A and B are shown apart, each in its own frame.
Chain A
């Protein structure tokens, strides 16, 4: 999809997204998907683009509109009002449930390289003034593969959203299940889907934004469960990866197979939304659902809470999210920028 170059330029000077180019630029230098240097080559049209311009343009090629992969941090900058996120479960990590050889070392390396604890960042923020829970998967972390940490963080986010009567938006980017966590990764599909179903039953809105690439166990669970499913132009979205399908059927796949446009055509996505329109689109959808579920439900819940509180005085204890023993550890990191004071699981990221 070709982007309007004029529009792109407009956004280049606009401060709506508070992407703070210098800060993102610094982070970019450590990223593998964008080569270092002043110029970046677009993998689609082959043109060289000023890296600064690319970043200011929400990481979309201003020649052909190709959407580069974006990190979780960048997404929040593009999406949330003032780029402000109250992050949840920032330190939730896995403990190698299968005792898979070499996994911990690889995990530590990836954590150091990306500055992430695992492949998703979840939290609460505002989009055009509308509060929402937002989870963003980061394709740079183990190719966005889903293991127990991602499953647990998503589940907690959906449970919180259900309790608070808030809509949920999830940006998916995943190569599928995290192989090193084996059957536990598989079970995250059921776990997250369960939390999504409960959230849905409460009459609350769930939007998924499918970004490049969304495949495997993520496609076969929460990615496809949104009330509204949006996709970024050109994103690869499918259950089986193209290479696996080619091997299975022994023939080349047609051009555009499993791209966002293909999904739209086959009825599995509601709209394809270019990145520069995403915030506005999400804001509009949230506004359209302002009265549905959310507020009414909160009132009802409050009533039932009061009733239950009268019945059981220990309610407060059950409500706090407790770490399961053994399986997850709140990894206390050495004093880093990702650390937080006290034991609170909330923190503000700017």
Chain B
């Protein structure tokens, strides 16, 4: 399907596009959700827990958009606060302890910016995740399912393998924000989306991501089950490969992957 960058942005944000929990339901079984960062609060913008992927126990972490207005408000439109990132890190450390692979679903316009987020160290929370994920002694696979916005997305995106769904976007900032900074006009978002090179196809070409997972005709929302099957195939393949590596090999490869960007 040939669509423009801006159309992809709109598709990625479209209501009705499958969210993290939709994929968790279809890809895993016995999902057991874990809550709270143990410091301050539970952040519902990030869902995390343990589940079986086939026979394999894994830790799953997903940025979660609401599927209706009420849920969207509860989940803060998938814009995490620092405690969301700290919860994610807590679950990753737990995964490391129990030798479970970590699977992340990235879907956020960006980390939330507000008074509380700043007071509680949004920057510190993201920074810590970047450094800790780099050293996490268990495989990590990250899939950008819709919108990967800025540092808020990267904080779940430091992984051994990073994928994007065919129509997902991943960028330094929203096209609107980008346009308002560089073109001093937020209505030029369409042009920005084009200039920013934020599509999965661009990023795989740059070597920023490892691959593009094809979406069903018309987009993931048309056939969520088919979409899940496509993701499953990729995860199965990669987990098998990653699990064969020693911890040292795994970490060295992860380091080199980001080192060369």
Contacts and interface: CB of A to CB of B under 8 A. Distances in A.
Nearest to A185: B172
A185 B155 CA distance: 14
Interface in B80-137: 111, 113-115, 117-124, 126-128, 130-132, 134-135
A219 interface: yes
Given A217-B151, A223-B123, A183 B203 contact: yes
B197 interface: yes
A198 B258 CA distance: 13
Contacts of A97: 206
A314 B51 CA distance: 46
A179 B255 contact: no
Query: Nearest 8 A-B pairs (CB), nearest first?
Result: A240-B113, A219-B123, A193-B130, A220-B126, A224-B127, A239-B123, A239-B122, A187-B261
B231 interface: no
Contacts of A267: 121
A190 B113 contact: no
A183 B170 contact: yes
B233 interface: no
Interface stretch (A29-37, A38-46, A242-250, A273-281): A242-250
A287 B260 CA distance: 34
A196 B131 contact: yes
Contacts of A225: 127-128, 131
Interface of A: 97-98, 100-101, 155, 177, 179-180, 182-191, 193-198, 200-201, 216-217, 219-225, 238-240, 244-245, 248-249, 253, 257-258, 266-268, 324
A185 B172 CA distance: 7
A217 B181 CA distance: 15
Nearest to A222: B127
Contact of A244 (B113, B126, B203): B113
B255 A194 contact: yes
Nearest to A221: B127
A69 B197 CA distance: 34
B115 A249 contact: yes
Chain B interface helix/strand/loop/mixed: helix
A179 to B, nearest CB: 5
Contacts of B134: 190, 193-194, 197
Nearest to B209: A183
Given A101-B195, A220-B123, A225-B127, A187 B258 contact: yes
Given A239-B126, A245-B113, A324-B260, 20 more contacts: A177-B172, A182-B171, A183-B196, A183-B208, A188-B261, A189-B130, A191-B259, A193-B127, A194-B131, A194-B254, A200-B131, A201-B135, A219-B123, A220-B111, A220-B127, A220-B130, A221-B126, A239-B113, A240-B117, A245-B114
Contacts of A221: 126-127, 130, 151
Nearest to B134: A194
B173 interface: yes
Contact of B118 (A155, A193, A200, A258): A258
